């Protein structure tokens, strides 16, 4: 399992953009496709909203990759 920590510099990041920013996919459009295909979970729940607002404290899972979203220090 690969664990990635993402430091959030605002109130939220859209799910498809988060996947792009951590390097899971090459573009926001590719991120949208992964979400639409039902491959992404947020806090243990399947997420089908491509622009779901992910906030600090959330955990995003895609296959064996876990992204922990943390507030900026």
Structure tokens belonging to residue 3 = 């664990």
Confidence category of residue 28, pLDDT binned at 50, 70, 90 = confident
Domain count, the chain: 1
Q: What is the pTM of this model?
A: 0.92
Is the CA virtual torsion 17, 68, 7, 65 positive or negative?
negative
Structural domain containing residue 65: 2-71
27: pLDDT strictly greater than 90? no
Q: What is the CATH number of the domain that holds 33?
A: 3.10.290.10
Would you give the end-to-end CA distance of the chain in angstroms?
26
Cα separation, 10 vs 46, in Å, equals: 24
pLDDT of residue 54: 97
Per-residue pLDDT at 37 exceeds 90: yes
Residue 50 has pLDDT above 90, yes or no: no
Report the b/e string of 13-41 with b at 16+ CB within 10 A.
Answer: bbbbbbbbbbebbeebeebbebbeeeebe
> If you average pLDDT over residues 62-69, what whole number do you get?
96
The residue-averaged pLDDT of 33-37 equals 93
């Amino acid at each position: 399992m690969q664990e990635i920590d993402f430091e959030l510099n605002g109130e939220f990041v859209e799910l498809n953009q988060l996947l792009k920013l951590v390097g899971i996919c090459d573009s926001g459009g590719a991120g949208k496709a992964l979400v639409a295909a039902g491959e992404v979970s947020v806090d243990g729940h399947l997420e089908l909203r491509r622009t779901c607002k992910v906030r600090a404290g959330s955990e995003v899972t895609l296959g064996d990759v876990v992204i922990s979203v943390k507030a900026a220090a």
